[in-house]
A and B are shown apart, each in its own frame.
Chain A
Amino acid sequence: MLKYIGKRLVAAVLSLVALITVVFFLVRLMPGEPFTSAKLTQQVADNMRHYYGFDKPLIVQYFQYIGNLLRGDFGYSMKYTNKTVNDIIGQTFPFSADLGIRALVLAISVGLILGILSALHRGKTIDFVCVLVAIIGTSMPDFIVGALLQYFFGIKWGLLPVARYLGFEYTILPSIGLAFYTLAQVSRIMRASMLEVVQQDYIKTARAKGLSDLRITARHQIRNAIMPVITVLGPTVAAVLTGTFVIESIFAIPGMGKYYVESVANNDYSMILGMTVFYGSFLILCNLIVDILYGVVDPRVRVGSR
């Protein structure tokens, strides 16, 4: 197992290097550059370019960047004055992660329960309701979900604060808004997987043993059905924890989401790279955890990985 994780870590570092390289050169290909504001005089802009090393050959800049990265330094933002990318991530990531964790807990627990109930009562009313939730969740964009939540719970009924992130009651609406899509996806996949597993021969064996329905569902069906859910959770966890532009904007949460989008619009090279590297390593880490989880749930995967 340790050898397997070691191997995967090496692969992770390699893909990260590839990611950095590709993004580093790609951002330079974008039209425009960071210092084009009309307020900057030619002299100032040239000074800035010199300061950031734009006057050196690209390949030198690349190795300089890698060198800084190895020291954990993402560099200064080219847009936000006197702020390093590290500062920005450090200030905004906790909000995004906090919201993300709440949303994930909600999405996974409720999603699994809905999926299981739905499969167990296939064709009944409860199944219909769950499938409906799943369809709405996967097809409704998050800005609509967010706006509807704000309108009904925040304005019409006045139950919960409409925006900002100042205490527990503030976290409820954005968590639901962020969780909705994942919840729907988890329940849809779990339902399908449960229905597939129930047809397996070993379920018949379990029934022939005279086990109770509860035991068959809990011990034989769910455990084998949960694999496909784990598969989709890897990338989803990474995406949800690192913040989303739409939900964070709608609920005025000072998370990371908006910096992704703005950094590209601003041609903020160091910011784009920093964000990408941060998100990329997070994604790779989540996928690694998923692969390890596979082995925990399904012993067959453990053998294959040796």
Chain B
Amino acid sequence: MSEREKILEIRNLVFSFRTYGGVVHAVRDVSFDVRKGEILGIVGESGCGKSVTAQCILRLNPEPPGFFENGEILYAGQDVLKMKKKELRNFRTREVGFVFQDPMTSLNPTMRIGAQIEEVFLSRTDVTKSEVKEKALNILRLVGISDVERRYRQYPHELSGGMKQRIMIAIALVSEPSVIICDEPTTSLDVTIEAQILDLLKELRERLGTSVIMITHDLGVIAKMCDRVVVMYGGKVVETGDIREIFYETAHPYTQGLLKSIARLDMDKTDVLTPIEGTPPDLFSPPEGCPFAARCDRAMAVCQRYMPFESRLSEEHMTRCWLQHELAKGI
């Protein structure tokens, strides 16, 4: 897995929003990479910066009020942050697809499904009109929609939620991008539909070799889907590793807390879930030290003052926690 070539690298990304209340430091020095054909999970609770990070990749956050303070996003050797308008549009059209959280509101209610898919090819001169329609119908079949000719002519409100999310995936995939970013793609769907959509994404990854960035707050989704995981907290990456390492050799207290707070089938009736007490840090004035220190039951004096260094536990496994520091061994 680790031998796979990197196709997207995010380096020291810092992204903030200027608001009337002050500057919100949404993404604070985030680095990770995405490799060819993998499913990378980004997990964290609401407001930890995972969506903003993902939207930074396509520069979908409104700028202003948002702005990049630092960092680079490298795709095929090119920095997305330095792209000109035209290049950026091209990048969005061809290289990266994006599936949003709520399929109910993410499709234009006044446009037919077919037109919304075909629109992706609007600025491309290398495909003819009949090819475009053929591609649109094919992608609809590929995402598991039956009776495609009819669906092609329908409007979004005539479809169910699960079907709309399939359409969103179709839109994201139609130009055969090398990465698709799914921002909580199943949060607004019911559980059976969720399973179908996740299976579909997995199957599409196998068939097309597309890398998937899967943003979620649901560790169940992570366990089912991902090869590698990035755990975010307070605008920072607190732990990364392959799926086995995250679940079985959990290093960061936050990740441990997340794991303890999910229900499991093998639990006893008398077992209770352990929530993480407290609330995430205020990103208007984020703490100097570890963002999790205030909620961490193993916090030490140093945690309040200094942001932990990266500790590398294996080739893939990295965490930012003072407990992993040499001097803290044995605590």
List the interface of chain A (C-beta within 8 A of B): 200-202, 204-212, 215, 219-220, 223-224, 297-300, 303
| Inter-chain pairs besides A205-B171, A210-B90, 12 sampled, C-beta below 8 Å | A202-B107, A202-B108, A207-B60, A208-B60, A208-B100, A209-B120, A210-B89, A210-B91, A210-B123, A298-B109, A298-B110, A299-B155
Closest chain A CB from B151 CB (angstroms): 14
Which residues of chain B are near A200, meaning CB under 8 Å? 105
Q: Provide 15 A-B residue pairs closer than 8 Å at the C-beta atoms, listed in order of the A residue.
A: A202-B105, A202-B109, A206-B119, A207-B92, A208-B97, A209-B119, A209-B171, A210-B88, A210-B89, A211-B119, A220-B108, A223-B110, A224-B110, A298-B109, A299-B109
Nearest chain-A residue to B117 (Cβ)? Answer: A209
Q: Are B60 and A202 in contact (CB under 8 A)?
A: no
Q: How many angstroms between the C-alpha atoms of A268 and B94 in the bound complex? A: 73
The answer to whether B158 touches A211 (Cβ under 8 A) is no
Bound-complex Cα distance A146 to B235 (A):
59
Do A297 and B92 touch (CB < 8 A)?
no
Which of A209, A215, A219, A300 is close to B92, meaning CB atoms less than 8 Å apart? A209
Question: Which of A206, A212, A303 is in CB contact (< 8 Å) with B108?
Answer: A206
| Residue in B107, B120, B157 whose beta carbon sits within 8 Å of that of A210 in the complex | B120
Q: Is B93 an interface residue (CB 8 A)?
A: yes
Picked from A208, A220, A299, the residue with its CB within 8 Å of the CB of B58 is: A208
Total residue contacts A-B, CB cutoff 8 A:
75
Is B98's beta carbon under 8 Å from chain A? yes
Specify which chain A residues have a CB less than 8 angstroms from the CB of B108 in the assembled complex: 202, 205-206, 219-220, 224
A298 to chain B, nearest CB (A): 6
Contact partner, B100, options A205, A211, A297, A303, Cβ 8 Å:
A205
Check B111 for interface membership: any CB of A closer than 8 A.
Answer: yes
Q: Mark B47-60, 1 if CB is under 8 A from A, else 0.
A: 00000000000101
Give the docked Cα–Cα distance between A150 and B89 (Å): 51
Say whether B106 contacts A202, CB under 8 Å.
Answer: yes
Minimum CB–CB distance for B305 against chain A, Å = 39
Q: In the complex the two chains form, what is the Cα distance from A207 to B91 in whole Å? A: 11
Instruction: Say how far A224's CB is from chain B's closest CB, in angstroms.
Output: 6
CB-CB under 8 A for A299 and B60, given A211-B122, A212-B89: no
- The reply to whether B60 and A300 contact each other, CB–CB distance below 8 Å, is no
A36 CB to nearest chain B CB (Å): 59
Q: Closest CB-CB distance, A12 to chain B, in whole Å?
A: 27
Please, which residues of chain A bring their CB within 8 A of the CB of B94?
210
A209 (CB) vs chain B CBs: closest residue = B120
